[in-house]
């Protein structure tokens, strides 16, 4: 009789019921079966929720300026419109690891001093003459300048000109919050004392020399502002020397001069000249990359979609998606990603 009763039950269904009973039982003890999630956890290649996207500066500039009518820089602390990836809505990020936003500072305004464990860069998109002070050096910023505020460095901003200024902020905030290691501290004063001359750090650390007794192997660059006036002519020299990559053009990497490594440990930035008539070969890598058009105009195919860009436009290529640049006229693209962090962890890959 017992044998007959068992044979009438679907063994497959019986197994599933038994497994579910087991899963329910062990869940009360904080346990869950890995075998039910392995394919989701360990895929055969990267799959990103991040999608290709572009922000056309001409279309959004007026909205960035409109923010000044609604909130002061002082009240906002940082008046920034975040560039949210359409594949990651509500997550305050442009890729899974990076936050990007357009910061507006109006004439006469200051953005008060603080420091945090997140590292930040500014890339100047529109305007000239506002300043950022970092660890005692007040640097006057112009279009195309690449400005660092590394992890735990004191920084404040101000605009003593008569025109608004807009720059791109990129921070490793999602990465730092993933590790749950965010600290932030406000300075006692609204702006920090200026104890260095504008350009001191570029002269001290970016000229093939180092001050005597300079720190041996700092994990970030000591240069505050890699000015466009300094780096742009180097692109021409690279091109004239024939150092034009078939995928990336004549490209330089913003380096930590003390080590030759990336300027910061979590974010790596580059500047590329795409010659007139450039037809870049397709490329992909595991670092989702943010691009800014500094000069010219062109088109980038990301996956199956073409994105046309011109000066001030910002676009993003997700991790492991093919992209290739095409230009009619000479153009310059700035780019930034989490590649240094991936390299440090030994997980960065590219396919050329
Ligand atoms: Fe900050």
pLDDT tens, N- to C-terminus, the chain (352 residues): 444 445 456 777 899 999 999 999 999 999 999 999 998 999 999 999 999 999 999 999 999 999 999 999 888 989 999 999 999 999 999 999 999 999 999 999 999 999 999 999 999 999 999 999 999 999 999 999 999 999 999 999 999 999 999 999 999 999 999 999 999 999 988 889 999 999 999 999 999 999 998 888 889 999 999 999 999 999 999 999 999 999 999 999 999 999 999 999 999 999 999 999 999 999 999 999 999 999 999 999 999 999 999 999 999 999 999 999 999 999 999 999 999 999 999 999 999 7
Cβ partners under 8 Å of residue 163, min gap 6: 107, 127, 128, 129
- 272 and 238 in contact (C-beta within 8 Å)? no
Helices (H) and strands (E) counted in the chain, each on its own, are: 9, 22
Distance 19 CA to ligand 1 centre (A): 51
Distance 110 CA to ligand 1 centre (A): 13
Judged by DSSP in three states, 100 sits in strand
Write down the residue that tokens 């200024």 correspond to.
Answer: 165
Rounded CA-CA distance 236/187 in Å is 41
Distance 118 CA to ligand 1 centre (A): 8
Candidates 266, 319, 314, 315; CA nearest to 288 is 319
- φ, ψ dihedrals at 186, nearest 5°: -90, 145
Compute the C-alpha angle 273/276/279, nearest 5°: 85
Distance 113 CA to ligand 1 centre (A): 8
Distance 154 CA to ligand 1 centre (A): 8
137 secondary structure, DSSP code: E
Candidates 306, 352, 312; CA nearest to 332 is 312
Rounded CA-CA distance 5/76 in Å is 72
- 140 and 64 in contact (C-beta within 8 Å)? no
Rounded CA-CA distance 262/107 in Å is 34
Against a cut of 0.75, is the pTM above it?
yes
Query: C-alpha dihedral over 89, 92, 93, 98, to 10 degrees?
Result: -160
Buried b (16+ CB within 10 A) or exposed e, 295-334: bbebebbbeeeebebebbbbbbbbbbbebbbbbeebbbbb
Candidates 263, 265, 258, 244; CA nearest to 325 is 244
User: What pLDDT sits at residue 9?
Assistant: 63
Query: C-alpha dihedral over 124, 126, 128, 133, to 10 degrees?
Result: -40
Candidates 39, 42, 45, 38; CA nearest to 318 is 45
Distance 348 CA to ligand 1 centre (A): 28
Write down the residue that tokens 């003593």 correspond to.
Answer: 160
Distance 43 CA to ligand 1 centre (A): 36
**Tokens linked to 312:** 């001030």
CA 13 remoteness from chain centre: 50
Distance 322 CA to ligand 1 centre (A): 33
User: What pLDDT sits at residue 17?
Assistant: 95
Distance 153 CA to ligand 1 centre (A): 9
């Amino acid at each position: 009789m017992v044998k007959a009763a068992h044979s009438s039950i679907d063994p497959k269904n019986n197994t599933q019921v038994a497994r579910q009973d087991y899963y329910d039982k062990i869940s009360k003890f904080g346990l869950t079966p890995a075998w039910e999630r392995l394919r989701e956890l360990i895929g055969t290649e990267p799959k990103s929720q991040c999608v290709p996207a572009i922000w056309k500066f001409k279309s959004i500039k007026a909205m960035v300026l409109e923010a000044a009518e609604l909130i002061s820089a002082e009240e906002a602390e940082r008046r920034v419109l975040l560039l949210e990836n359409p594949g990651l809505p509500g997550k305050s990020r442009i890729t899974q690891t990076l936050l990007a936003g357009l910061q507006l500072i109006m004439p006469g305004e200051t953005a008060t001093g603080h420091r945090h464990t997140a590292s930040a860069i500014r890339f100047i998109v529109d305007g000239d003459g506002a300043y950022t002070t970092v660890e005692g050096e007040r640097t006057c910023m112009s279009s195309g300048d690449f400005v660092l505020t590394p992890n735990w460095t004191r920084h404040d901003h101000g605009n003593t000109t008569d025109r608004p200024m807009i720059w791109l902020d990129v921070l490793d905030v999602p990465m730092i919050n993933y590790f749950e290691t965010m600290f932030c501290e406000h300075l006692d004063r609204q702006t920090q004392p200026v104890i260095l001359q504008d350009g001191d750090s570029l002269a001290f650390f970016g000229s093939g020399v180092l001050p005597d007794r300079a720190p041996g192997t700092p994990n970030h660059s000591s240069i505050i502002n890699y000015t466009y006036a300094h780096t742009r002519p180097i692109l021409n020299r690279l091109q004239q020397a024939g150092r034009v990559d078939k995928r990336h053009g004549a490209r330089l990497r913003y380096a930590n001069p003390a080590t030759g490594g990336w300027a910061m440990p979590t974010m790596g930035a580059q500047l590329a000249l795409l010659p007139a008539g450039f037809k870049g070969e397709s490329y992909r890598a595991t670092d989702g990359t943010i691009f800014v058009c500094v000069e010219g105009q062109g088109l980038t195919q990301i996956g199956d979609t073409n994105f046309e860009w011109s000066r001030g436009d910002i676009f993003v290529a997700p991790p492991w998606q093919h992209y290739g640049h095409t230009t009619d006229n000479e153009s310059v693209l700035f780019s930034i990603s989490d590649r240094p962090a991936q390299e440090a962890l030994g997980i960065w890959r590219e396919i050329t």
